[in-house]
Amino acid sequence: MKILIENIKTIVGANPVPQETLAGKEMSVLPCVHNGWISIEDGNISGVGEMKEGMPAKAKFDKVINAERRFAFPSWCDSHTHIVYAGSREGEFVDRIKGLSYEEIARNGGGILNSAERLNKTSEDELFESAMHRLNEITKYGTGAVEIKSGYGLSVEGEIKMLRVIKRLKEHSPLTIKATFLGAHAIPVKYKPNRQEYIDLIINEMLPIIGKEKLADYCDVFCDRGFFTEDETDAILQAGWKHGLQPKIHANELDYSGGIQVGVKNKALSVDHLEFTGDEEIKTLLASKTMPTLLPSTAFFLGLHYPPARKMIDAGLPLALATDYNPGSSPSGRMAFILSLACVKMKMLPEEAINAATVNSAYAMGISDTHGTITVGKTASLFITHPIPSINYLPYSFGSDLIEQVIVEGEIIS
Ligand code: NIG
Ligand code: FE
């Protein structure tokens, strides 16, 4: 379908020569075109310009959209989710209101183990249907690309089942999807007396199948207090690389776990969470190509303290933002709310938050060539807002639905 969008008040992230990542002061620079047009052909952006310079003849387009008083944004790239899961966990939500902590619930067999028990009893078809429903939901929120993790199987069959579901989602959803293997999400109860046996299962049984069947793009480990140690993480990440899987890990959510250091040592594409980030961790990240990714809705939902985003940007780091959409610590996939949290709770400027949720989160899922900006030649995944006064209005009006029209890979979705 050939689409022309005209009279756009502001095209956000319209960078003709985008950088792969934006760090430090660069994060507050957001290239925009005012009173402009975008043309879309064969799923890609074929032209971007200002109205006053003229635009292509309307006759050659199947559809012309008048976006007067509206903003066009590149689709959000949600680089960290767990949206394949069985059942919700609002019981634990109430337990936390009554005073139990996330870690206490996990130690009592709740948390990730609770989700694993349910997932192993749920069929592949049911998992596919419910995850597809969540994908359709986040598409309406403006997400055009999403990374999805396994990690609620915690058995050879369960993990492979989850990754097969993600493979089917890749085939059936218009969204761009990356799959991450997270067998090392928690130690299953039966392996608690001998955790090394479970780590051996990941390394010697799960990874070879996943590598052979090409079921994942990345390898993750929950490197944190009470979950996986630095040494265990190191061994699993090295084994992942042997099957072609670059690391992309959970680190420093519950403590200074060494996860950032072990992630950087293993050339992780991203290290995610980072509530516990100090000077040492910042120094390590500055000397790397690893994208620090913050998930502020987890801190919001679990009542943790927020990662030191301001300090990290001021030290010259890039930052990405993602939802962590999962049934335990962040049961929401609304990227706009993540931006509001980033601004209100972590003192990021709206421009910084937008760059973190587009350019830098595209990098954090390995899709910088096609996503993250509105640039000729990139995939035409973008959304058009309702009439709004400014860019700042988007994180300011938290909870509101400001999206009027969504285009994914050149097709009008809603
Ligand atoms: O990213 N931190 C580890 N894993 C998930 C939570 C998963 C769960 O509680 O089900 C997270 O927060
Ligand atoms: Fe997560």
Closest CA to 215 of 177, 248, 253, 184: 177
- Best CATH choice for the domain 76-365 from the list 3.90.470.10, 1.10.10.10, 3.20.20.140, 3.40.50.720: 3.20.20.140
Domain 3-75+373-412 fold is Urease, subunit C; domain 1 (2.30.40)
The number of helix segments (H) and strand segments (E) in the chain equals 16, 16
Residue 111 Cα to ligand 1 midpoint, Å, equals 8
Task: Quote the mean pLDDT of the chain.
Answer: 97
Q: Say yes or no to pLDDT of 93 above 90.
A: yes
Distance CA 403, CA 412 (A): 13
Residue 151 Cα to ligand 1 midpoint, Å, equals 9
Query: What are the structural domain ranges in the chain?
Result: 3-75+373-412, 76-365
Q: Read off the pLDDT band of 65 (50, 70, 90).
A: very high
pLDDT for position 414: 82
Nearest ligand 1 atom to alpha carbon 328: 9
Residue nearest to atom 3 of ligand 1 (CA): 222
pLDDT for position 253: 95
Residue nearest to atom 6 of ligand 1 (CA): 329
pLDDT digits (tens, 9 = 90+) for 223-279: 999 999 999 999 999 999 999 999 999 999 999 999 999 999 999 999 999 999 999
Residue 228 Cα to ligand 2 midpoint, Å, equals 14
Q: Which residues are CB-contacts of 326 (< 8 A; sequence separation ≥ 6)?
A: 81, 82, 83, 85
Average pLDDT over residues 21-25: 98
pLDDT for position 313: 98
Average pLDDT over residues 83-103: 94
Average pLDDT over residues 47-56: 96
Average pLDDT over residues 269-297: 98
**Contact indicator for 247, 181 with CB cutoff of 8 Å:** no
pLDDT digits (tens, 9 = 90+) for 313-333: 999 999 999 999 999 999 999
Distance CA 243, CA 204 (A): 11
Ligand nearest the Cα atom of residue 79: 2
Q: Read off the pLDDT band of 1 (50, 70, 90).
A: very high
Share of the chain above pLDDT 70, in %: 100
Average pLDDT over residues 185-192: 94
Average pLDDT over residues 372-394: 98
Helix (H, G, I), strand (E, B) or coil at 218: strand
Q: Read off the pLDDT band of 108 (50, 70, 90).
A: confident
Helix (H, G, I), strand (E, B) or coil at 183: strand
Residue 152 Cα to ligand 1 midpoint, Å, equals 10
pLDDT for position 107: 86
Q: Say yes or no to pLDDT of 299 above 90.
A: yes
pLDDT for position 359: 98
pLDDT for position 109: 81
Residue nearest to atom 8 of ligand 1 (CA): 328
Q: Read off the pLDDT band of 335 (50, 70, 90).
A: very high
Q: Say yes or no to pLDDT of 106 above 90.
A: no
